[in-house]
Structure 1
Amino acid sequence: MRTELMGIAEAYDPDTRWGRAFGVVDRENYSPPLYQHRGQDIRKLEPGGRYSVATDVLSLSVGVVSHQFTARATGREVVVDTGRGRGRYEIHCHSAYFPGVGTRLDAGSTVTRNATAGESPGTGWDAPHDHFVISDYPDAAHTPSRPVYDPRPFILSALAGAAGDTARPFTPEEDDMYEQSDRDRDNAMAAKVDEIRTILYNAGLGEIRENAAAAKEGRDRITEVRDILYNAGLGEIRENVAALAKRSTGA
């Protein structure tokens, strides 16, 4: 196996380098309409295996750097034009630097490096990693309305080729892209989730209200008992003072 292809096998290894998966739904951190993780995270863990560290980002395919963007969520994006009919653009996000438009790349060539905390302008950065996006549109990584492909079959196909597998390269079909029907389906699902969340939230508020009423009743009862004890104590003190006064005067 050529050295650069060995680099791909290590850099994109599913068992050791894949992080957050494509398609994960997170309504707090991802953009509408799908609220979906639109790439496959590639990262290198430190020896202890808990935190990722910055490392070189290797090109999965032969291509040329065609675009470079800086976006709010994805930071620096390096776009590689592979010339494929479908899944033409491979986009590497949260990059430390731009290699320059027109840079030609072989499979396994260094594209850039993962950004560290001080280098990343993207709000989606949580540790050094490559948010890897594949699309027919170069701006898809920061444009939620652009359809994207699941990068994992592309990666697995490239790894098979690097290992000398004679299987044909992965060629996505139209159905592999997220289109309007997928958005409609996922929006309907998201609406149902919101409905269930509202029901549970309101049920929780009802329980909270009941608990609050019970707590107030308990506090009122404690106050009442305290007043009784306090008044009883004062009454006893008054009686004792009166008795002492009588004894001192001989009455």
Structure 2
Amino acid sequence: MNAYPGILIVFDGIDGAGKTTQINKIADALRAVGEDVLISKEPTDGQWGQKLRASALSGRMTADEELETFILDRQDHLTNKIIPALEDGKIVFLDRYFYSTIAYQGLRSSDYRSIEAIIRKDTVIPDAAILVDTDPYLAISRIRLRDGKENHFEKLEDLIQIREIFLSLAQDDDLLHVINGSQDIDSIYKDVKSYIIEGALKAKRCFKSYGCDEPLYCGPRITGNCSWWNIVSAINKA
């Protein structure tokens, strides 16, 4: 958990995992109960992100150049968008973060661990990190239905290996929570909502700074002074 008043929640996974759908659903639910929400993505639409997106269609850069561009894009993103939003107390949802950079750039390296420390350097620790784990064959079918064809980042044989890196990261990083992305949309959303509400949202919005110690007879909850409980109640009624 980071020290900002806002909440940073990141979604990662292979292309076609369904991350964007889930981000929009949970963001809409939180906005509906009065939360100030920002959705962003990586690569961004900034100068470095545009360069990366162009390479996905025209031909990828060298591994070193691509990694450097991802890092430059993230630093610009953090400085100009993410950190100011967190300082303002917003809930920030990111469609991809450094986990995706490790996984996708790790495929181009002999061992993703050799570049992991470089990628993690000077980043903001998320309050929650979700890996939407989806079967690559299902993901490819979703991509073809959505876009008509894959780009240079979306080859089936690559997605199979990238998924393995993601799962390896999740084994080593307790923050990265795996959710089954091969379920139907509503089942995935149920898992996502539960994890966020009981995890990052409770940690940052619970009235008691040390955590919820008496859920049945909590005074702030009964009197309506706990913003976390008010959010939970409103979302569940919606």
The TM-score by the shorter chain falls in which range?
Answer: under 0.3
Higher strand share: 1
TM-score normalized by the length of structure 1 = 0.20
TM-score normalized by the length of structure 2 = 0.21
